[in-house]
Amino acid sequence: MTDTHPPVEPKRRTLAHRLTIGLLWTVLTPLLILPIVAIFVFAGRGGWWSFWNTILLPEAQFALRLSLMIALWTSLANAVVGTFTAYVLSKHRFLGRGPLSILVNLPVAIPTVVMGTSLILLWGPIGLLGRYLVPLGFRPIFAPFGIFLAHVLVTFPYMLGAVKPVLDELEITYEEAAYTMGAGRFRTFVHVMLPALKGGLFSGTLLTFAHSLGEFGATAMVSGNLRMKTQTAPLFIFAQFEAGQIETANAVAAVLAVLSFSIFLFLLRFTSRPAREGP
Amino acid sequence: MSIVLDHVSKRFGAHVALDEVSLEVADSELFVLLGGSGSGKSTALRIIAGLTRPDEGRILLQGERVDHLPPQKRGVGFVFQNYSLFQHMTVGRNIEFGMRIHKVPHAERLRRREELLNLIGLEGMADRLPRRLSGGQQQRVAVARALAYQPAVLLMDEPFGALDVRTRSQLRRSLKEVQQKLKVTTILVTHDQEEAFELADRIGILERGHLVEVGPPASLYRRPKTELVARFLGDANLLVGEIRGGRLHVGESILTLPAEAPQVTGSLEVKVLIRPEELEVRPRGASIDGKGLGLGKILETLQAGPVLRMKVGVPSLRGTPILSPEPVFGQAEPTLIAHALPEIGELPVLVPGAPVQLAVRNLHVIPHEGGSLLVCIDGSELAGRSLDFAARVAAQMHGRMEILGVAEKPNEETRAREGLSAALQGYSSEFPSLKTRLRAGNAGDRILEELDRGVYDMVVLGCRGRHGPARSMGSTTGKVVMQSRVPILIVPEARRSLKKILICMASGVSGRSDVIFAGRLAGRAGAQATLLHVMEGDQPGLPGAAPDPRTTEYLRELTTERLARGILTLKLMGVPSEMKVRQGVAAAEILEEARSGDYDLIALGALEPPRSEDSDGRALIDVVLEHARRPVLIVPAPQEKGT
């Protein structure tokens, strides 16, 4: 394949050009760049030694580990449930399909605090289901499982958004080809659909992971913010900040920022690779 | 028999995709299903593969019923139009996929993979990814993949559809080779005639869910059983002739009757098919081989590769119905088409305007049904009258009719059934092949469905509302008028016979299709025609403004010219005709002329389907129907040609 686009002539370095670029930097520096810098500046104020000690605090360690575990389980759960939902919504026609496809995307539109509240009203001691389940010993609210439920709910649309477009594009004939060659539904899914979904699944999982890692609103409602029990990293940062421990807060914030940043870079590389390869 | 379809039907909602299709494909045959889009050909293929479930009918593969089997268990290879190669697998893995599923041992898999790659000429490409291959190569891999696990039958859905012309013809040849080498029974679906002719052992022609005709390509082309196939395959000259005294009369000429033509004692009207290459065109005075068709004149020529395509005017055919090439509005002379491979010396002579002599080398005779009417009745007195008129028209046309009764509610079924059996009794002596059908549901929908079968030339509506002779279009009539692509005859009050037809050119888009259809009807029925044009006095949109005399004059000239062309068209069809111009409001003038001239039928053109409810055309039709007190024929604008 040859490139059919005519080469674009680079803009000449006129005064207008320089002004435009300057303006862009002036606007974006306070809005986007300095906030990120600030975290690292404050986190490193006491020097490496103090940063390291802060990170090793048992509370900080617990919060970071809890956040990572929750993010991991949330991504796994949504990889399965999200893919299943995407598959059914994309390949089947049934009553209520239209409303359902809107409903599953709703969690992005509704404030996370509201989503958290709704979970309490469902699973809490006086909730719709909770009033029957709590006496039986099922107490997800103010427990890590509740956080997991909240994260699955809040991040659900990300996996769907990454996988469903791929499925929509994938014509039914690929499945049918496998059927005519003797492959059943399960084998067709494993050998034909899943490989085609690889890219979407991967970026969906990473997106979910990143969002879960930083989730605050719903977590704050559902977790009860119990130290060493249900306090995730974002909640820990907020608590420390409120208590005036700005450096501790910033140290953990810096770790979160680095984690998210690496995921983001990875995602960027991964998603841009096929485009570079060309058809 | 490798593949048997036995009365297979499939509907999608109201759309009938396949209607009682029966088909047998022999072992190692390459069968091509040829049809336009929406003809149901892909549906047929998917039903055989088990990807779509039929509503009715049986499917047998290798003599065993497979209706209940899922696609996995049917042992068919399927090649999709988009190939559907698995993009993440190499070519080799794609080909091996079916064998892996069938647990073929590794060594055997590799052996067969290499064998197939050799066969399709892609040796050494096993490790490529599909997207690194050209379209043609991908297509071949798809064929190899479908053949790898040695299915009993191979099904191909437009396999060359996405390729350029050159690749296509290369691949056709290699496909034919592969198929003959492996002797695998194959059904290929296509809309491309050339492809069908090049590949097929036999061709089946599907049209709107009906398998119209099946046969080897050459006999389908030369000796089709139906007019539809004669027109569908290649170009055709199709004329109406008469077998009389063991000879074939076409216009003023007498042609040789082919051996396979029906033996007739009296006389019989037939359709005569002359393929363009069987029509010999020679300069006047030159020697000629075929049976003479008289003198003519070349109207147009087109050198298409080695073939010279000509349109030839043949005055001696005036008055002879020509079904194909279809007469164009305003055409003065009967026209036939001829394809020739002229010698160099002849080329300067075979030019537009040149006088020529014509002869027929070979021809084929198709039974002539003389038009087919669908009459819809609801058992009322009014329906009885319209049925009566329809029967007269059908008799005058030497045509057939079928009667459809629709019961909208369960309690109407008895009445409809009685109406149908009475009709059958009353008319079966006159029409021995008379058939009746009873359907339940919305009358308009059922009528349109029946028309969709595409075997009727005209529909006659008698059921005008539930409450006797309603004085405006009932919902059923309205629906059919809006959506039918077949001309509609509405009979508010019957006439004794069809002797005088009033063709109105004031309505509709062009008024051309109604002139041609009504002309043909008049020709068949031996009626005479009057062409009427109504000049509307005031310009629409300028109320009260005095029309510019120059505009009026221009319009008058335009009208006269159009009428003259209409008269030419009618004369061409052998219909005695005259023209009239009236001034005033269209609907009123049409009604006045119809009354004073005591016509038996008013023919109106209608807007193109789907016609909108509130158009002027509809309003005019409404008014005319309301007051006409005589049969009204509504001719829809021609639908787009082709598949």
Task: Report pTM.
Answer: 0.76
pLDDT at B546: 61
CA distance linking residue B461 with residue B482, whole number of Å: 14
The verdict on a CB contact (< 8 Å) between B72 and A176 is no
Percent of chain B's residues with pLDDT above 90: 35
pLDDT at A5: 58
The verdict on a CB contact (< 8 Å) between A279 and B70 is no
pLDDT at B606: 66
**Structure tokens that stand for A245 in this block:** 């421990």
Please write the tens of the pLDDT for every residue from B30-85: 999 999 888 899 999 999 999 999 999 999 999 899 989 999 999 999 999 999 99
Which residues on chain A are in Cβ contact (under 8 Å) with B94? none
The verdict on a CB contact (< 8 Å) between A181 and B98 is yes
Can you tell me the mean pLDDT for B321-325? Answer: 86
Please write the tens of the pLDDT for every residue from B521-552: 888 888 999 988 887 755 444 445 566 777 77
**Dihedral in degrees, nearest 10, Cα atoms A31, A36, A39, A45:** -100
**Structure tokens that stand for B566 in this block:** 């209409």
Please write the tens of the pLDDT for every residue from B561-570: 888 888 888 8
Low-confidence ranges of chain A (pLDDT < 50): 1-3, 274-279
Residue of B72, B102, B189 best to disrupt the A interface, most CBs of A under 10 A: B72
CA distance linking residue A261 with residue B257, whole number of Å: 88
Give the strand pairing for B355-360 and B279-283. antiparallel
Closest CA to B626 of B470, B498, B439: B470
**What is the residue type of B488?**
I
CA distance linking residue A179 with residue B229, whole number of Å: 36
Phi, psi angle pair for B19, to nearest 5°: -125, 100
The verdict on a CB contact (< 8 Å) between B84 and A196 is no
pLDDT at B638: 67
| ipTM field | 0.72
Alpha helices (H) along A29-96: 34-43, 47-55, 58-91
Please write the tens of the pLDDT for every residue from A173-183: 999 999 999 99
**Highest mean pLDDT out of B123-137, B257-271, B488-502:** B123-137
Type and span of the H or E element at B588: helix B586-597
By a Cβ cutoff of 8 Å, what residues of chain A touch chain B? 171, 173-174, 176-184, 187, 191-192, 195-196, 198, 279
CA distance linking residue B506 with residue B537, whole number of Å: 13
**Dihedral in degrees, nearest 10, Cα atoms A182, A184, A190, A192:** 50
Cβ-proximal residues to B226 (8 Å cutoff; 6+ apart), any chain = B212, B213, B366
Provide the shortest C-alpha distance from residue A168 to chain B (in Å).
15
Phi, psi angle pair for B611, to nearest 5°: -85, 145
Which residues on chain B are in Cβ contact (under 8 Å) with A191? 86, 97
What confidence category does residue B323 fall into, taking pLDDT thresholds of 50, 70 and 90? confident
Q: In the predicted model, is pLDDT for residue B609 greater than 50?
A: no
Per the CB < 8 A criterion, the answer to whether B190 and B109 are in contact is no
> Cβ–Cβ contacts within 10 Å for residue B124, how many?
9
Least confident of A248-262, B134-148, B149-163, B610-624: B610-624
Chain A residue whose CA is closest to B151: A181
The verdict on a CB contact (< 8 Å) between B51 and A176 is yes
Q: Which residue has the tokens 């008289």?
A: B294
Phi, psi angle pair for A4, to nearest 5°: -90, -10
Can you tell me the mean pLDDT for B402-409? Answer: 84
pLDDT at B511: 56
Of A176, A179, A196, the CB nearest to B87: A196
Rg, C-alpha atoms of chain A? 23
CA distance linking residue A197 with residue A90, whole number of Å: 13
Q: What kind of fold does domain A71-224+257-272 have according to CATH?
A: MetI-like fold (1.10.3720)
The residue count for chain A? 279
Provide the shortest C-alpha distance from residue B170 to chain A (in Å).
23
The verdict on a CB contact (< 8 Å) between B80 and A177 is yes
The verdict on a CB contact (< 8 Å) between A179 and B70 is yes
Pick the more confident residue, A68 or B613: A68
Closest CA to B355 of B409, B323, B395, B315: B315
What confidence category does residue B100 fall into, taking pLDDT thresholds of 50, 70 and 90? very high
pLDDT at B507: 44
Which residues on chain B are in Cβ contact (under 8 Å) with A177? 78, 80, 84, 86, 145
Cα B409 to Cα A15, A100, B593: the distances in Å are 82, 37, 41
Can you tell me the mean pLDDT for B305-320? Answer: 89
Please write the tens of the pLDDT for every residue from B427-479: 888 888 788 888 888 888 888 888 877 678 899 886 454 444 444 456 777 78
State whether residue B517 sits within 8 Å of chain A by CB.
no
Closest CA to A115 of A149, A85, A160: A149
Can you tell me the mean pLDDT for B10-35? Answer: 91
